[in-house]
Homo-oligomer: A and B are copies of this chain.
Amino acid sequence: MKKNLRIQSGAAREYKSLKMLVALVSLVVFTPGYSSPGNNSPPAADLTPAVDPFLGVDGGGNTLPGPYLPFGMVRVGPDCGNLRSNSGYTGGPVMGFSQVHISGSGGGAKYGNVLFRPTVGELDVQKPAGNRKSESATVGLYDTTLDSGVRVELSASRRAGFHRYTYPKGTQGHVVLDLGSVLSMYENAGEGQTVLATETRILAPDTVQGRVIVQGGWNIGAPYTVYFSAKLNRQPEESGVWGPVGIYPGCTRGVTTVKEHGGAFFSFDTAQDNQVLLKIGISYINCEKARQNRDEEIPQWDFDQVVSDNRAAWNRELGRITLEGATGDQQRMFYTALYHIFSMPTDRTGDNPLWTSPEPYYDDFFALWDTYRSSFPLFALIAPSRSSHIIRSLVDTYRHEGWMPEARSGNDNGRVQGTTSGDFLIADAILKGVEGIDYQAAYQAMRKNAEVPTGPCDQRFFGRGNVDVFHQLGYIPADCERSGSRTVDYAVNDFAVAQVAAKLGKTEDAGKYAKSSKNWRNGWQADKEDDGVKGFIMPRNRDGSFVDVSPTQAPMVATDRKDPYVAWSQHPSHPGGSGSEPNIYYEGNSWIYSLAAHHDVAGLIELCGGKDKFLQRLDTYFAKYHQCENEPGFFSHCLYVYAGRPDKTAEATRKICARFNPGRSGIPGNDDSGAMSSWLAFNMMGFYPNVGQDIYIITAPQLPKVVIHLENGKDFTIIAKGVSDKNIYVASATLNGHPLDRPWFRHSEIANGGTLEFQMSDQPTDWGCNNLPPSTVSLPGRS
């Protein structure tokens, strides 16, 4: 999911593409301790210094620099400026520090709830916390000193935030709760959040609890309620509540209504003791649960211990992969990528307000459309227990709500960008032997996705809109929204369904969906030409005729605006409707979607006019039309391999990787819940998954040595001898000592560990040119 404007505007961004290449040859090697290869227990040493929480905060990456645990329910951070930022983080004044965020999203912001701010001097509840004089962030700790002189340190457990405020001695110090603050406020017409109401209760001089009810945000979800219970480590001299009209010292109850700000304040004499600690438990069930979450996770007042516990938890995730010989920048980019990948979605197990279940519960799939291609294949490889945990939650949501999430946030499904991407997670999991999932129930959910069309309102929230028409006509006709992209998406999706059906012995279904997985070809207009290339996915009318649109554009379908949901969403009183859904191609154009049938590459090469024309098309595409910042093109650098040119895949990979850097603008576009980071992590290691298949494409390694400590206790080691910024091509390879003359391997070949060793070269070689990856059809005429 991305802010849709970006594609069309191609807004300038700060790229430091050379920085990484330079770093590769640096002699200064940053070396945090590794766990020994073969040691699959949690690493003894601390990998967290390799993570830079500021990587990707700028330039549209929208990553959150504040502290949180892997998949943590609470993510603390500064909310800055006009609160329009997706992570809350920007330059400008800090309004305060809220407890709930997501990391790396695009579109309208979500969350930014339960904001506290320390201020000094005469009480002014509306005053921002102030500008930052200095700031730093490490895993588990955000630390800033404000121009007010207050130092703010933030840490987090899974469901509680921990703040430490150090005031200038002798000032009047305040802790102000602004419960009416959320990110992207008041943007009713689009994807903004609207605070519907807040409730504040000071239960004791050192204890405040309450809730905020919020509607909107990117997924245009139903209202969500965040409950909190906060405790101070000392008694304030004075406290009270405040609202839109005044401040009420001595009062303990405050309620505000739509778009109002309000909350509580606590004032301290800092002459003797100038430090105030604040623990804030969060829940989506009620305040009592928020209090329990707080007290269970942070029973003491030891701030440093919470930071330390946070880092220990991160080391358990980061330590799944260890690097040897990597430069400091490489380590920073790789481990920060892992950090981002293990940030999302949000594990809300035990805190589901909607139903009671023994199954896990995850929220903030933001969106699976972004993460199914590379984040989840990475989980399936390095953290299958997490993959299983998350997929079980998807299936349980299907059980209780009737549909698996495609995207989900604030306890509500929505929005759907392409197709039902959760299906790919299940296909990937079953093909890669992920255990603990009720695959029969999962298949029921997939089959419903593939068969039951969702209506005009529903289609943006779950399921596949017009999937009945897709089966009838063999494509999504041009009068339906997203006709160009969904014709391809649904076909690719059906391939995943077919895979699972086959695995479960449902032969008839497997045949049916294998057949419809070819439907993307029905959208192919063979004689459409653009920039020397012939044949494009084009919108098609119900009578079979094609609609003439430019392959470089993402135009809207005029007739589509009659969609009743669009009419509703455009009503002045109603939020929503500003997304890319009415476009023919969702977050892309025909150049991109014409190369998106990654399940049927042989067929694609054929339609493109054979290998040579395909290669020529890819060259033009990468020279001019590839958008590395959007997910529909995520697999396209692998396509060269299918046409016998691993060397060109290596070049394309390096070229795309150069769009990343270890700086604050280090991610070329929204990180999309770690989707971009997972693309980078895979390709730095040297391979990339074809999601929904048992296949990884070797894109050529960039790190000298990578050891993946698999959950089964085995290690999968990748060695790239001689790799450098010049030696980017594979000259030869061995797998477990045996020559490997193909640019791909199966999951089953490395599932029990092993060593993949490359000899790198500074010149293209013919390695792997003749042993091409399987596609779903035979490829006639391959040389």
**Does residue A378 face the partner (Cβ distance < 8 Å to B)?**
no
A140 to chain B, nearest CB (A): 32
**Does residue A699 face the partner (Cβ distance < 8 Å to B)?**
no
Note all chain B residues with C-beta closer than 8 A to A248.
455-457, 564-565, 568
Note all chain B residues with C-beta closer than 8 A to A241.
457
- From B244, B286, B462, give the contact of A353 (CB < 8 A): B286
By the criterion of a CB under 8 Å from any partner CB, how many residues of chain A are at the interface?
57
Cα separation A243 to B222 with both chains bound (whole Å)? 14
Note all chain B residues with C-beta closer than 8 A to A462.
253
Asked whether B458 lies within 8 Å of A260 as measured between CB atoms, the reply is: no
Cα separation A213 to B196 with both chains bound (whole Å)? 9
A105-141, CB under 8 A of B: which get 1 and which 0? 0000000000000000000000000000000000000
Asked whether B564 lies within 8 Å of A246 as measured between CB atoms, the reply is: yes
**Does residue A504 face the partner (Cβ distance < 8 Å to B)?**
no
Asked whether B457 lies within 8 Å of A244 as measured between CB atoms, the reply is: no
Note all chain B residues with C-beta closer than 8 A to A245.
564, 567-568, 571, 574
Please classify the interface of chain A as helix (H, G, I), strand (E, B), loop, or mixed, using the class held by over half of its residues.
mixed
Residue of A220, A222, A256, A356 with most partner-chain B CB within 10 A? A222
A242-270, CB under 8 A of B: which get 1 and which 0? 01111111111111111010000000000
Residue of A221, A244, A400, A458 with most partner-chain B CB within 10 A? A458
Interface residues of A in 345-400 (CB under 8 A from B): 353-356, 400
Cα separation A223 to B248 with both chains bound (whole Å)? 21
Which of A197-205, A428-436, A482-490 is near enough to bind chain B? A197-205
**Does residue A48 face the partner (Cβ distance < 8 Å to B)?**
no
Q: How many copies does the complex hold?
A: 2
A360 to chain B, nearest CB (A): 17
> Given A245-B568, A251-B455, A456-B248 in contact, is the A574-B260 Cβ separation under 8 Å?
yes
A570: nearest chain-B partner, CB-CB: B245
**Does residue A418 face the partner (Cβ distance < 8 Å to B)?**
no
**Does residue A71 face the partner (Cβ distance < 8 Å to B)?**
no
**Does residue A401 face the partner (Cβ distance < 8 Å to B)?**
yes
A249: nearest chain-B partner, CB-CB: B455
**Does residue A9 face the partner (Cβ distance < 8 Å to B)?**
no
**Does residue A573 face the partner (Cβ distance < 8 Å to B)?**
yes
Q: Can you show 18 pairs from A to B with CB atoms below 8 A apart?
A: A194-B257, A196-B258, A197-B223, A199-B222, A201-B401, A201-B402, A204-B402, A244-B573, A247-B564, A248-B455, A248-B457, A250-B456, A251-B456, A251-B565, A253-B462, A257-B574, A260-B574, A286-B353
- Sorted nearest first, the 6 A-B pairs with minimum C-beta distance are A250-B455, A251-B455, A251-B457, A199-B222, A196-B196, A288-B355
